[in-house]
Chains A and B, each alone.
Chain A
Amino acid sequence: GQNIDQPTEMTATEGAIVQINCTYQTSGFNGLFWYQQHAGEAPTFLSYNVLDGLEEKGRFSSFLSRSKGYSYLLLKELQMKDSASYLCAAMDSNYQLIWGAGTKLIIKP
């Protein structure tokens, strides 16, 4: 079957770095997406990886290892506004997104 695993909740300190891991199993693979979702709001696109390696975009970076079925989202210089849920989603061979349940990130001052 198809499955996405990510931690349910993480806590980090303002100004620190946090890494949110995601493992996936899909029928075929056409890329890995990360979205941010603040409470009561819609998911918003953060990053897309289809090749192995690290993609950096400001304070956020995303890494992919296709051979290991593994990705992580790295958030640097954490700010209070980064408190949100982070959703990992893998695109299968039918170009459908398989979604994880999300990781709730709590930032403490």
Chain B
Amino acid sequence: IAGITQAPTSQILAAGRRMTLRCTQDMRHNAMYWYRQDLGLGLRLIHYSNTAGTTGKGEVPDGYSVSRANTDDFPLTLASAVPSQTSVYFCASSDSTQGTDTQYFGPGTRLTVL
């Protein structure tokens, strides 16, 4: 089934630990995004990639890094997790060649940092 998968579904992490959230899409979309969603706030963009090999910073990039080695995968790494990074993380992708840039979302990863 075409779409976006994320792993893990949920994770409890000790502060200071390193963590990589995985995201894979099979729609051959050129653009991919990482958002965090916190109660009472809109989705906030962490990092994005317009095409394989390129990445950019979003609204809240501090404490996070990404890579885009190929079209399908877009992992998000927390180098040293802090409690303020407790959130639900959504990966999304879009085909910007289609003009509307509609973004399609993965199921999310619920991360708790203690």
Contacts and interface: CB of A to CB of B under 8 A. Distances in A.
A4 interface: yes
Report, as a range, how many residues of chain B touch the other chain.
10 to 19
Contacts, number: 45
B42 A101 contact: yes
Most chain A CB inside 10 Å of its own CB: which residue of B58, B103, B106:
B103
Interface residues of A, number: 22
A102 B58 contact: no
Interface stretch (A10-18, A72-80, A92-100): A92-100
Interface in A13-50: 30-31, 33, 41-45, 48, 50
7 contacts: A30-B101, A33-B102, A42-B107, A45-B102, A101-B41, A101-B42, A102-B42
Interface of A: 4, 30-31, 33, 41-45, 48, 50, 87, 89, 91, 95-102
